[in-house]
Chain A
Amino acid sequence: MEIRLDNVVKTFDTFRAVHGVSLTVQSGELIALLGPSGSGKTTILRMVAGLEYADGGHIYFGDQDATDIPVRDRGVGFVFQHYALFPHMTVGENIGFGMSVSKVKRSKAEIVARVNQLLKLVRLEGLGDRFPAQISGGQRQRVALARALSVDPKVLLLDEPFGALDANVRHDLRRWLREIHDELGITTIFVTHDQEEALDLADRVVILKDGKIVQQGTPQEVCRDPKNAFVLKFLGDANRLTGEVRDRQAHVAGVAVAAAEGVADGPAEIYARPRDLDWSAAGPGVPASVARVLDRPGERRVIATASTGEPLEFDVDAERDIFAGEQGFVTLRRAKVFALG
């Protein structure tokens, strides 16, 4: 089902959490709401669910205005960050809860059959009689998902679904969630502050800041063409150099970088990812001195200081000899230029 938000506003006491957000989620799409804490992403998700009422604007489920439909009747599946499994019920009872309270009456046998089907879907066959306290965090999150899916929701909403799990489990669950989504084709919105998770999982990423949408697009669009410095920095490590734009060229410490069309002449900031910087002992380039070298499994991360005083981070091959105190030059293979001010 298509979900449409039209100029949705939410204010908490005096604090404005969401400022007029408009967004369309296509039927069957998997989208990520990505932003730092306080960006309003969870509030938006909770308004779509009906756990929070919008102070202004409308939320449409297909052609139906769902803005004032209470959560109970809205037909959403919500997965909470801390699972919110009912601790006094078994895994099977948790998954069956939605069906047993439903207005659509089902026989016990039907519910049991559906619970087993869902357990199979989330690969937890045989654990139906355990209690939530007796299974692992990753398993709990899968139970929470099965429970949310049990009511055949129009839309699946996940609030930081992997936030409470350790890195390995998170990685596996991410892939698995994508598989389930592709299998069921259910419209899904999830909230995360982890850009890697958003880029890995989503068809489309919506980046939020201070209760507003800053940019939305496919992972490729937002990665290749970030609209502003906030998006660029939020999506991953970036070096920042200040320079001067003249005739569509940004100049910094004797090095020129091509600027996009429309960047006004004058002071500008230049951003480059660590892996887009090259190091050479002889020029040309921005003069820099190495402060520290961090060894990583695949490469060596160098922390250096540019002659302009700005810190730089870049990667060199694992075999390369480089020492703290070494002087050299940095060239920028790829960079983004934004006008300052």
Chain B
Amino acid sequence: MNAVASHKKPPRVGDGPVFRRVLIGIVLILGALLILAPLLVIGHEAFKQGFKVYTATLSHPDTRHAIMMTVVTALIAVPINTAFGVAAAWAITKFDFRGKRLLLVVIEIPFSVSPIVAGVAYLFVYGLQGLFGPWLDAHDIKILFALPGIVLASMFVTAPFVARELIPLMQAQGRDLEEAATSLGASGWRTFFSVTLPNVKWALLYGVVLCNARVMGEFGAVSIVSGNIRGQTNTLPLHIELLYHDYQAAGAFASASILALLAVFTIIAKVALERRGAGRRKTQATDAASTGH
């Protein structure tokens, strides 16, 4: 019976039950091993010596300062990079100009360059022996081994995230909508906020979430430019490394749990926002359909 049925309706390529189960199994096992297990270990290790030790580590001034540094860095770097990404995507998709392809390549550079290389490069530009070093020193402006350096390095690493999400979408959408809005008398700002932005908001949001996650987690570039001064220029990832090297496993895991928590929060925020958007659209659609008849 079964053989006859399958004879009549041959399964599509790769649609056999065995193949399907094996594939799903592999993905689940790898996902558990590579992604879920480390997260669980962080939680377990962080609380292994009890809740008291956990809170004590987190309330340590150095840890609190590191958390603050990370949040402040994200609060500065993410909005700037969002603005940069939107501007770059707009320029590339809505205008024709010389060097457009070059700009596309330049935006991609941080993706392919190791962050530590970026850190070293910043050292040579803003360091004492660097390009602007003497001038900065003479004017008493501190960039390296201070917050500005950390923000700059984080911004370099995360510069492409927003632009990369927006460019393909905006390219596919073309210029018609903006042209239509302008021909109806809308100003540039009005066109952007009422027409362009609503049509790219989910891609933009996704870019911002990725950018934020990366800024908070960035290690390589920041470790070079920050100088790792405990309680002064340590961000959370640097602080975790420091604790780890000090044989303070519990502290390291506790701090790591905070970083992981921040990441989970970002993801939840993203999913929630997406849900709300999708839900809103669906109710609008059903309302419209019911009033239409």
What is A's interface to B at a CB cutoff of 8 Å?
Answer: 49-51, 71-74, 76-78, 80, 82, 84-88, 90, 97-98, 101-103, 126-127, 129-131, 134, 147-148, 150-151
Contacts and interface: CB of A to CB of B under 8 A. Distances in A.
B288 A131 contact: yes
Given A78-B179, A84-B180, A101 B292 contact: no
Contacts of A126: 291-292
A325 B285 CA distance: 61
A74 B179 CA distance: 13
A97 B287 contact: no
Interface string B166-199: 0000000000110111111111001000110011
B287 A77 contact: no
The 7 residue pairs across chains A and B that have the minimum distance between CB atoms? A98-B184, A84-B176, A84-B180, A101-B186, A78-B183, A88-B198, A130-B288
B190 A129 contact: no
B184 A101 contact: yes
Contacts of A86: 177, 180-181, 194-195, 198-199
A129 B288 contact: yes
> Main SS of chain A's interface residues?
loop
B289 interface: yes
Given A98-B185, A101-B185, A151-B184, A131 B284 contact: yes
Given A129-B291, A131-B284, A151 B179 contact: no
Contacts of B289: 130, 134
Residue of B181, B182, B186 with most chain A CB atoms under a 10 A cut-off: B182
Contact of B285 (A71, A82, A134): A134
Contacts of B198: 86, 88
A87 B180 CA distance: 12
Given A80-B179, A84-B180, A86-B195, A134 B187 contact: no
Contacts of B291: 126, 129
A130 to B, nearest CB: 5
Contacts of A71: 179, 182-183
Contacts of A127: 292
A88 B199 contact: yes
Contacts of B184: 97-98, 101, 147-148, 150-151
Contacts of A85: 180
A129 B183 CA distance: 23
A80 B185 contact: no
B180 A78 contact: yes
Contact of A90 (B177, B179, B194, B288): B288
A106 to B, nearest CB: 12
B185 A102 contact: yes
A130 B292 contact: yes
21 contacts: A51-B179, A72-B182, A72-B187, A78-B179, A78-B180, A86-B180, A86-B181, A86-B194, A86-B195, A86-B198, A86-B199, A97-B186, A98-B184, A101-B185, A127-B292, A129-B288, A130-B289, A134-B285, A147-B184, A148-B184, A151-B184
A297 B292 CA distance: 39
Contacts of A103: 185
A90 B292 CA distance: 12
B186 to A, nearest CB: 4
Interface in B19-49: none
A279 B288 CA distance: 60
A127 B292 CA distance: 6
Interface string B258-293: 000000000000000000000000001101110110
Given A72-B183, A134-B292, 9 more contacts: A49-B183, A50-B183, A74-B183, A90-B288, A101-B181, A126-B292, A130-B289, A131-B285, A148-B184
A147 B185 CA distance: 12
Nearest to B183: A78
Contacts of A80: 176, 179-180
